[in-house]
Amino acid sequence: MSAILALAAKDLRLLIRVKSGLFFAFVWPLVIAILFGAVFSSGDSGSRRMAVALADEDQSAGSRDFAALLAKSADFNVRPASRAEAIGLVRKRQEAAALILPKGFGEASQQMFHGTPPKVEVWIDPSRQAEGAMIQGLLFQIVMKGFQKKMADTGAMRASLRQSIEDVERSKAPADQRASTGRFLESMDRALSEMPAASGPGGGGQGAQWEPLSIEQHDVAIQQEGPRNPFEITFPQGLLWGVLGCAMAFAIGFVSERTHGTLFRLQMAPIGRVQLLAGKALACAVACLAIEATLLAIGRLGFHVVPHSWALLVLAGVSTVAAFVGVMMLIAGLGKTEQAAAGVGWAVMMPLAMFGGGMVPLAFMPRWMAQAGVISPVRWGILAFEGALWRGFSFQEMLLPCAILLATGVVCFAIGTRTLRLT
Q: Which residues in this chain contact other proteins in the complex, by CB under 8 A?
A: 2-3, 6-7, 9-10, 13-14, 17-18, 260-262, 264-272, 423
CB–CB of 18/25 below 8 Å? Answer: no
3-state percent helix, strand, coil for the chain, nearest multiple of 5: 70, 5, 25
Q: In whole angstroms, how close is the CB of 293 to other proteins at the nearest point?
A: 24
Give the C-alpha separation, 54 to 378, whole Å.
41
Give the C-alpha separation, 231 to 237, whole Å.
9
Q: In whole angstroms, how close is the CB of 10 to other proteins at the nearest point?
A: 5
Give the C-alpha separation, 49 to 404, whole Å.
42
Q: Could you give the C-alpha distances from 406 to 274, 327, 400, in angstroms and in order?
A: 19, 11, 10
Q: In whole angstroms, how close is the CB of 9 to other proteins at the nearest point?
A: 8
Q: In whole angstroms, how close is the CB of 18 to other proteins at the nearest point?
A: 7
Between 7 and 86, CB nearer to other proteins: 7
Q: In whole angstroms, how close is the CB of 7 to other proteins at the nearest point?
A: 8
> Quick count: other Cβ atoms within 10 Å of Cβ 107?
16
Residue closest to 117 by CA, chosen among 215, 252, 186, 227 = 215
CB–CB of 384/320 below 8 Å? Answer: yes
Between 15 and 143, CB nearer to other proteins: 15
Between 185 and 248, CB nearer to other proteins: 248
Q: In whole angstroms, how close is the CB of 278 to other proteins at the nearest point?
A: 13
Between 180 and 267, CB nearer to other proteins: 267
Between 264 and 364, CB nearer to other proteins: 264
Between 27 and 274, CB nearer to other proteins: 274
Q: Which residues contact 296 (CB under 8 A, 6 or more apart)?
A: 235, 239, 305, 307, 313, 317
